Amino acid sequence: MDKLAGMSEPWEMRDTDNPAATSSTGADARTALLRGFAELVLSRRYGDFGVASIIQAAQVARSTFYYHFAGKDDLLLENLRPFVETLAAMPQEQGVSPALEQWVSHIWTQRATARRLLGGPTGDKLQTLLADTLRERLSLQCVDISPDGLTMLAEQIAASSMALLRAWVGHRFSAAPPSVALSLRRGARALSHPREHS
């Protein structure tokens, strides 16, 4: 029987001191934290809620939160990891992937939230995560480039991708999501495969 479901025997205690304890498993707690965070970030300004609100939304203990995440920004980056992975795959893609199309459409649908998250310190952290992920992927593909060259290329692709998204959700230009997705992919591909575009 699940310890958090409540016990009928008085000598069985709820397992609230175990950081990984949840309604079922540690994986469930992580999922609950990611979902609770996503709900909060879509309904409130990122700066207007903290760890206490996330814990309440996920219905987990504070120790469970810190078992899985270092803080709110760590949770944000983990929540956006599929987005980052999609952007990091662009240099290898021959065309716009369905995942990229879906993410760009989602960003447009949630553009007010995206504008807040892509800007400022949060956007900087997201851009750093993207650059790090790109560097890892590019190191497998571009074996003839020095480590510094890989870092420079990854930083350039990450910065240009984030700049395009920030400008778009900031209404600096008007374009449909498929056009933005295509521009993102073309830019990443052109930077990583210059011989194709010379």
CA-based nearest residue to 36, from 56, 10, 11: 56
The token pair that represents 152 in the structure block:
């420079």
pTM of the model: 0.79
Looking at residue 11, its pLDDT comes to 23
Domain over 3-70 is classified CATH 3.30.565.10: no
Q: What share of the chain in percent tops pLDDT 90?
A: 68
Q: CA 190, CA 198: separation in Å to the nearest integer?
A: 9
User: Which tokens hold the place of 76?
Assistant: 């944000």
How far apart, in Å, do the first and last CA atoms of the chain sit? Answer: 65
> How far apart (Å, rounded) are the C-alpha atoms in residues 138 and 92?
9
Other Cβ atoms closer than 10 A to 26: 15
According to the model, what pLDDT value does residue 8 have? 28
Q: Quick one: pLDDT at residue 41?
A: 86
Q: Quick one: average pLDDT of 191-196?
A: 78
Looking at per-residue confidence, does 3 or 120 come out higher?
A: 120
pLDDT at 91 over 80: yes
Residue 10: pLDDT over 60: no
Which tens digits make up the pLDDT trace of 139-176?
Answer: 988 778 899 999 999 999 999 999 999 999 999 999 99
Task: Give dist(CA 77, CA 59) in Å, integer.
Answer: 21
Burial (0-12, 13-18, 19+ Cβ within 10 Å), 118: buried
Residue 51 neighbours by CB under 8 Å, 6+ apart: 62, 65, 71, 72
pLDDT value, residue 25: 64
| pLDDT top residue among 85 and 13 | 85
| Structure confidence at residue 196 (pLDDT) | 62
The predicted structure's pLDDT at residue 21:
40
